[in-house]
C-alpha cells in the first residue's frame, strides 16, 4: 500500500498530507505519530487525553447554559484551547493552513463530526464560515429540549480558541444554524468581535450581550 508522506523540517519528521483511502482514521493518526495509544494511556501530540461519554459533556454544558455562566464557560474554553494549541504550533512549526487541517482531522478522529470551512480575508483581517455535520454534543442538547442555536458555550469556546491560535489574533464565533433548531448541520460565522457585531448584530447580541 502506498502512503503519501511529506517531511517537515524538524525532528518530528513525518506528516500525512494525503490519506490513503484504504486506511481508517485511527490508522492514519497512528502512522503519522500524532496519536499514541497504549494500555491505560492515550496521547495526542504528546499530551494525555481521555475518552468521556457525550452525556457527561452535555450535562456540564447544560449546567452553564444561562446568561451568567455561559460567557464564563465560553471564555474559559477559548483560553484553554489557546494554551493547549500554542505549544503544538511551536513544536511542529505549523502554518495557519496546517492548523486548520489539523483541527478538521482532530474533530473527525475525536468523533466531533465532519468539519469544513471557508476562509476570507478583508484588509488582512481573517473571517469565514465553519460547518460541522453530525455534532454529537448538539444532538444531545436537542434531546434535552434545546431548540436554539448559540446554546453551547463549551464547544463554541473550543472553536474560537483554535481559530485564535491559527491566526494569532483574537477570534470569536457565533452560531447561525444548528441541528438543535432543526437545521441539517451547525453553521458558524467567525472573525474578530467588531466584524461579527457589524455584520451579524442579532446573532452577535447572543454572544456578547446587549450591543450599543
Q: What is the pLDDT of residues 121-165, one digit of tens each?
A: 767 788 999 999 999 999 999 999 988 887 889 999 999 999 998
**Do 11 and 21 meet the contact criterion of CB atoms below 8 Å apart?**
no
pLDDT of residue 25: 59
The answer to whether residue 13 scores a pLDDT higher than 60 is no
The answer to whether residue 1 scores a pLDDT higher than 90 is no
d(CA 171, CA 165): 9
Cell numbers given for 86:
500554542
Cell numbers given for 76:
474559559
Helices (H), 39-123: 54-63, 70-92, 96-110
Q: Is the pTM of this model over 0.75?
A: yes
Confidence of residue 47 (pLDDT cuts 50, 70, 90): confident
Dump pLDDT digits (tens) for 74-89.
Answer: 999 999 999 988 887 7
Residues in the chain, total: 212
Confidence of residue 187 (pLDDT cuts 50, 70, 90): very high
d(CA 166, CA 169): 8
Confidence of residue 201 (pLDDT cuts 50, 70, 90): very high
The DSSP string of 120-189 is EEETTEEEEEEEEES-HHHHHHHHTT--SSS--HHHHHHHHHHHHHHHTS--EEEEEE-GGGT-SSEEEE
Domains and CATH numbers, the chain: 1-51 (no CATH), 52-208 (3.30.1380.20)
d(CA 136, CA 113): 7
Cell numbers given for 4:
503519501
d(CA 107, CA 52): 15
Phi-psi region of 174 (alpha: psi -120 to 50; beta: other; left: phi over 0): beta
Among the listed residues 161, 138, 178, 173, the one whose alpha carbon sits nearest the alpha carbon of residue 57: 138
Amino acid at each position: 500500500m502506498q502512503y503519501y508522506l511529506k517531511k517537515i523540517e524538524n525532528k518530528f519528521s513525518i506528516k500525512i498530507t494525503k490519506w490513503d483511502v484504504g486506511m481508517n482514521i485511527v490508522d492514519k493518526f497512528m502512522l503519522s505519530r500524532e496519536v499514541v495509544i497504549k494500555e491505560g494511556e492515550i496521547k495526542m501530540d504528546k499530551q494525555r487525553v481521555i475518552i468521556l461519554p457525550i452525556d457527561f459533556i452535555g450535562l456540564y454544558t447544560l449546567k452553564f447554559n444561562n446568561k451568567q455562566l455561559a460567557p464564563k464557560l465560553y471564555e474559559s474554553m477559548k483560553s484553554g484551547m489557546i494554551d493547549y494549541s500554542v505549544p503544538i504550533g511551536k513544536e511542529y512549526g505549523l502554518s495557519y493552513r496546517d492548523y486548520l487541517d489539523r483541527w478538521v482531522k482532530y474533530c473527525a478522529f475525536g468523533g466531533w463530526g465532519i468539519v469544513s470551512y471557508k476562509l476570507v480575508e478583508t484588509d488582512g483581517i481573517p473571517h469565514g464560515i465553519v460547518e460541522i455535520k453530525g455534532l454529537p454534543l448538539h444532538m444531545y442538547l436537542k434531546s434535552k429540549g434545546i431548540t436554539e442555536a448559540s446554546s453551547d458555550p463549551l464547544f463554541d469556546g473550543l472553536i474560537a480558541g483554535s481559530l485564535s491560535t491559527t491566526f494569532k489574533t483574537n477570534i470569536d464565533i457565533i452560531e447561525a444554524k444548528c441541528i438543535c433548531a432543526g437545521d441539517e448541520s451547525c453553521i458558524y460565522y467567525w472573525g474578530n468581535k467588531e466584524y461579527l457585531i457589524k455584520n451579524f448584530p442579532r446573532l452577535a447580541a447572543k454572544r456578547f450581550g446587549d450591543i450599543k
